[in-house]
């Protein structure tokens, strides 16, 4: 992962600041950096979103395809994740350099999103045991400036919100043969309920305190961080510790509490923003990548 070199003096400076709830860029410990969201940015996907968080930029595209349901859950669809660490983000990703990180990220994403509590997977079923929608969620890292998990999770939620799956209906003839028919109207499509889709909040333990949305410098001062996925109700659906250092039970408890708090506060404005954008419809001026 992209890292920066931080000198001892810098470290001390950052540490002392955080101790006093004042971070290098002027934020408090539980503040996010400036975040920008735009949905429907890639026209040939079924749903897409671009999120920038500080200088971190991610693009998420969702493609819906018809597949066969998993044998264990015949009446549900499923999601597939792929994270592409583009060499645009950092030269380290060149060649196969980003592969390891990509796998790590997508494994976490499977854990967080691909379950029926996050998304109503039953609604993705077309015909039990035979056909279901498979949502291919492709994440592209455009720039790395710390806190990838949070940015990705917000982008995924926005992209899923934006996803329009064409409506199909199944016609069957007397012999029992089934045929999937597509609606001819491009506006006739199904939307996903993203209410329960969680967001990931990463908390970094820096010194004795913890911060959300750590920058790369802060990250360099941290020994361990906790990745928590939180729903809009504040329920924790998933938790994972990353980093080499250890965390004592007390601080884990503190960090989860903070995570819940931050996560809850993150969902409400996000949903409001997405709905606002949606309501603009076709009149919305697209910003895209050049804006």
Partner 1 sequence: MLKSKTFVKKTRSGGVMKVVREHYLRDDIWCGSEVCTECKQESTVLQKDACMESSLCSYPHYLVPDTNVVLHQIDILEDPVICNVIILQTVLQEVRHRSAPVYKRLKDIIHEKEKRFYTFTNEHHRDTFIEREPGESANDRNDRAIRVAVKWYSQHLKTFESDTDGLKVVLLTNDQGNKQKAQDNGLLVYKCEEYVKSLIANPELVDRLALSSDDKNEITSSKVLFPEHLPLSRIQTGIKSSSFLQGTFRASRDNYLEATVFVQGEGEDSTEVLIQGLQNLNRAVHQDVVAVQLLPRSEWVAPSSVVLQDEGTAKDDEDAEEEEGKLRTAAVEAARKPTGKVVGIIKRNWRPFCGMLNVSQIKESTRHLFTPADRRIPRIRIETRQASTLSGQRIMVAIDGWPKDSRYPNGHFVRSLGGAGEKDTEEEVLLLEHDVPHQAFSQAVLSFLPKMPWAITPEDMMKREDLRPLTVCSVDPPGCTDIDDALHCRELENGNLEVGVHIADVSHFIRPGNALDKEAANRGTTVYLCGKRIDMVPELLSSNLCSLRSNVDRLAFSCIWEINHKAEILKTRFTKSVINSKASLTYAEAQMRIDDTNKNDDITKSLRGLNKLAKILKRQRIEKGALTLSSLEVRFHMDSETHDPIDLQTKELMETNSMVEEFMLLANISVAQKIYDEFSECALLRKHPAPPPSNYDILIKAAKSKEVKIHTDSAKALADSLDAAKVDGFPYFNTLLRILATRCMMQAVYFCSGMDSDFHHYGLASPIYTHFTSPIRRYADIIVHRLLAVAIGADTTYPDLMDKHKQSALCNNLNYRHKMSQYAQRASVAFHTQLFFKSRGILNEEGFVLFVRKNAIIVLIPKFGLEGTVFFDSKDKVSPNIVFEEEGPTLSVEQHKFHIFDKVKVTISLDDSNIQHQKIRMALIEPVIPGVSVPAPDTERPAKKQKLDH
Alpha helices, H only, the chain:
8-19, 99-113, 148-162, 216-221, 249-280
User: In the complex with partner 1, which residue's Cβ is closer, 166 or 234?
Assistant: 166
269's CB contacts (< 8 A; 6+ apart) are none
Residue 43 in the binding site for partner 1 (CB under 8 A): yes
Residue 39 in the binding site for partner 1 (CB under 8 A): no
Q: Give the C-alpha separation, 53 to 25, whole Å.
A: 14
Select from 258, 266, 281 the least CA-distant residue to 205. 258
Q: Site for partner 1 (CB under 8 A): which residue of 22, 182, 223, 268? A: 182
β-bridge mates for residue 171, sequence order: 179
- x/- mask, partner 1, residues 117-156, rule CB under 8 A, reads ----------------------------------------
User: In the complex with partner 1, which residue's Cβ is closer, 64 or 124?
Assistant: 64
* Least CB distance to partner 1 at residue 156 (A): 19
Q: Which segments within 6-112 are labelled E, that is strand?
A: 35-39, 47-53, 56-67, 78-85
Number of residues near partner 1 (by CB under 8 A): 23
User: In the complex with partner 1, which residue's Cβ is closer, 190 or 271?
Assistant: 190
The residue range among 109-117, 174-182, 220-228, 263-271 that interacts with partner 1, by the rule CB under 8 A, is: 174-182
Give residues 46-105 in contact with partner 1 (rule: CB under 8 A): 46, 63-66
Q: How many other C-beta atoms are found inside a 10 Å radius of the C-beta of residue 172?
A: 10
Residue 286 in the binding site for partner 1 (CB under 8 A): no
User: In the complex with partner 1, which residue's Cβ is closer, 184 or 250?
Assistant: 184
* Least CB distance to partner 1 at residue 113 (A): 22
Residue 179 in the binding site for partner 1 (CB under 8 A): yes
- Pairing mode of beta strands 131-143, 78-85: parallel
Q: Give the C-alpha separation, 111 to 46, whole Å.
A: 23
Residue 291 in the binding site for partner 1 (CB under 8 A): no
* Least CB distance to partner 1 at residue 43 (A): 5
Alpha carbon distances (Å) from 87 to 107, 140, 186? 20, 10, 35
215's CB contacts (< 8 A; 6+ apart) are 23, 24, 25, 33, 54, 145, 146, 147
Residue 285 in the binding site for partner 1 (CB under 8 A): no
Residue 173 in the binding site for partner 1 (CB under 8 A): yes
Q: Tell me which residues touch partner 1 (CB under 8 A).
A: 43-46, 63-66, 166, 168, 171, 173, 175, 177, 179-182, 184-187, 282
């Amino acid at each position: 992962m992209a890292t920066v070199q931080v000198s001892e003096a810098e470290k001390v400076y950052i540490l002392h600041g955080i101790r006093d709830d004042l971070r290098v860029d002027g934020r408090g410990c539980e503040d996010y950096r400036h975040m920008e969201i735009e949905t429907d940015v890639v026209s040939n996907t079924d749903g897409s979103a671009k999120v920038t968080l500080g200088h971190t930029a991610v693009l998420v595209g969702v493609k819906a395809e018809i597949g066969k349901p998993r044998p264990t859950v015949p009446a549900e669809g499923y999601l597939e994740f792929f994270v592409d660490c583009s060499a645009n983000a950092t030269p380290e990703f060149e060649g196969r350099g980003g592969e390891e990180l990509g796998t790590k990220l997508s494994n976490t994403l499977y854990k967080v999103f691909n379950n029926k509590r996050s998304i109503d997977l039953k609604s993705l079923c077309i015909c039990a045991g035979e056909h279901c929608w498979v949502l291919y969620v492709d994440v592209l890292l455009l720039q790395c400036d710390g806190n990838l998990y949070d940015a990705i999770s917000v982008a995924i939620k926005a992209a899923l919100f934006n996803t329009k799956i064409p409506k199909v209906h199944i016609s069957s003839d007397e012999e029992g043969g089934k045929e999937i028919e597509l609606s001819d109207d491009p506006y006739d499509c199904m939307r996903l309920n993203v209410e329960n889709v969680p967001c990931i909040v990463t908390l970094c333990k820096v010194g004795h305190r913890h911060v959300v949305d750590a920058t790369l410098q802060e990250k360099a001062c941290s020994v361990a961080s906790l990745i928590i996925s939180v729903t809009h109700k504040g329920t924790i659906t998933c938790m994972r510790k990353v980093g080499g250092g250890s965390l004592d039970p007390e601080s884990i408890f503190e960090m989860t509490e903070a995570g819940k708090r931050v996560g809850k506060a993150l969902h409400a404005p996000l949903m409001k923003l997405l709905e606002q954008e949606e309501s603009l419809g076709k009149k919305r001026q697209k910003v895209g990548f050049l804006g």
